[in-house]
Amino acid sequence: MADSVVSLPFVNVLTPTVSAGETVPVALIHGWASGSVYWEPLAKKLLEAGRTVWIFDLPGYHPGEEVPPDFPWTLDSVAGSVAAAIEARSSGPVHLVGHSMGGSVSLTLAAARPELVATITLVGMAPVPQNQGFKKLLSSQLDQGFFDPETVAKLMNAWYGELSAADMARLSTGFDAPFPILSASAVAAMTGVEPSVPGRVHAPLLVIAGTDDRVRPMEQMRAFVAESQQRQLRAIPGAGHNVHWEQPEKCAAALTGFWETSWPSPA
């Protein structure tokens, strides 16, 4: 990974009232134009299951955070920053859970620093070519230098479906990040991981996908999982791109079942 890293001071560490006896923390990595708020329903279910949860804000996404102007916002540098934050908080590996672009960050980290990763879960994501309509829409906004309200609403609808006004206000705060952060992370999201990265990830890997995801079709998820016996797929009926927000109970059940059977790795 890149030598350029920044401190990630805004990590929400959540400890369960009653522990499940599992010492491996769960690290949740958000996607593009998103933030920690959309992890809250899943985090609640994981806490109820006795799991310690860390929710990361990626560089520049925490309100009021200032990122050094010379920091290159790439999957490589962000994965390095997350790795440094994990090392500062844990003496062992973590269960990485990355949504959408956060899955690309997680894959990059797992390929470069395998000792930090017990398992990896990709939510609403597989490292395959991006939807061309999505790329075209983002590119038009990058060219004009800002994200207009109509485009934000269109993207939010594709990601979440119908939302109440209150939820729309809460969940769209990722678009409040400074434009240089939004634009650089959009490029990272559109570019995706280097082709060699998935093959260099040897940790047990789970893909959780909503069957109604309008961003990542199930066919892409199945094809990626079929490439390795180390990969599993859990399809959540009726859920869309943000399956962890829409179906947190089923998502938590899929995660805990995966961890219980995959870590420590079967002899």
pLDDT at site 129: 78
Q: What does the pLDDT profile of the chain (267 residues) look like in tens digits?
A: 656 899 998 999 999 998 878 789 999 999 999 989 999 999 999 999 999 999 999 999 999 898 998 999 999 999 999 999 999 998 899 999 999 999 999 999 999 999 999 999 999 999 987 777 788 888 899 999 999 999 999 999 999 998 999 999 999 999 999 999 999 999 999 999 999 999 999 999 999 999 999 888 889 999 999 999 999 999 999 999 999 999 999 999 999 999 999 988 654
pLDDT at site 214: 86
Distance between CA 127 and CA 179 in Å, rounded? Answer: 25
202-to-54, 110, 165, 238 alpha-carbon distances in Å: 23, 8, 42, 30
pLDDT at site 236: 96
Distance between CA 29 and CA 121 in Å, rounded? Answer: 10
pLDDT at site 137: 87
Please enumerate in sequence order all residues whose Cβ is within 8 A of that of 92, keeping only pairs 6 or more positions apart, or say none. 23, 24, 118
Domain ranges of the chain: 11-262
pLDDT at site 266: 56
pLDDT at site 22: 78
Of 78, 76, 77, 60, nearest to 68 by C-alpha is 60
pLDDT at site 64: 87
Query: Contact, 208 vs 248, CB < 8 A?
Result: no
Rg (CA), the chain: 17
pLDDT at site 135: 83
Of 258, 248, 218, 261, nearest to 38 by C-alpha is 248
The amino acid sitting at 170 is R
Q: What's the pLDDT tens digit per position in 85-129? A: 999 998 899 999 999 999 999 999 999 999 999 999 999 999 987
- Domain 11-262: CATH architecture, name and number where available: 3-Layer(aba) Sandwich (3.40)
In three-state secondary structure terms, 106 is helix
103-to-91, 173, 207 alpha-carbon distances in Å: 23, 20, 10
